[in-house]
Amino acid sequence: MAASTRTQHARELFAPLGPTYDRYARLLSFGQDPRWRRFLVSRIPAEAVRVGLPLAGAAISPGWHEVGRFLGPNIRGFYERLPLDALVELWRAAGIEDVRYRRLSVGGGIVVWGTRS
């Protein structure tokens, strides 16, 4: 099955970032990037991605700027359509118990987990 135009566009945006991102993060933070990423993420609201990610991306590379422009509206739109409380309720309605979640990134990423009896 062929990928949709939107999926193909996202893949093209993210493709050049992987090889350079981790290298720059390690270099610029003297190997401390995981610690400061967790700290920063814990203090930045997901809504800040709309402005912050594109600006930060522009400082690093044109590819990151494009990713920020793509992610911001998509993440904001997802949360407008399906707020976190509604997402957790969907998990519970599917029979998942002890539903928990954690915000992971400046981009507003969330991991949800639970147990099924």
**Predicted confidence (pLDDT) per residue in 66-86, tens digit:** 776 777 677 777 778 888 899
- Site of tokens 């814990």: 42
Q: Which of 112, 21, 34 is nearest to 68 (CA)?
A: 21
Give me the residue spans of the domains in the chain: 5-83
Looking at residue 44, the DSSP 8-state letter turns out to be: S
The whole-number pLDDT of residue 95 equals 92
| Low-confidence residues of the chain: pLDDT under 70 | 18-19, 37, 40-41, 43-62, 64-65, 68, 72, 104-108
The whole-number pLDDT of residue 48 equals 61
The whole-number pLDDT of residue 108 equals 61
Using CB atoms within 10 A of its CB, is residue 48 exposed (0-12), middle (13-18) or buried (19+)?
Answer: middle
Looking at residue 28, the DSSP 8-state letter turns out to be: H
Q: If DSSP codes are grouped into helix, strand and coil, which group holds residue 95?
A: coil
The whole-number pLDDT of residue 74 equals 75
Contact 63, 13 (CB under 8 A): yes
Q: Which amino acid, 98?
A: D
The whole-number pLDDT of residue 16 equals 74
Q: If DSSP codes are grouped into helix, strand and coil, which group holds residue 52?
A: helix
Contact 79, 46 (CB under 8 A): yes
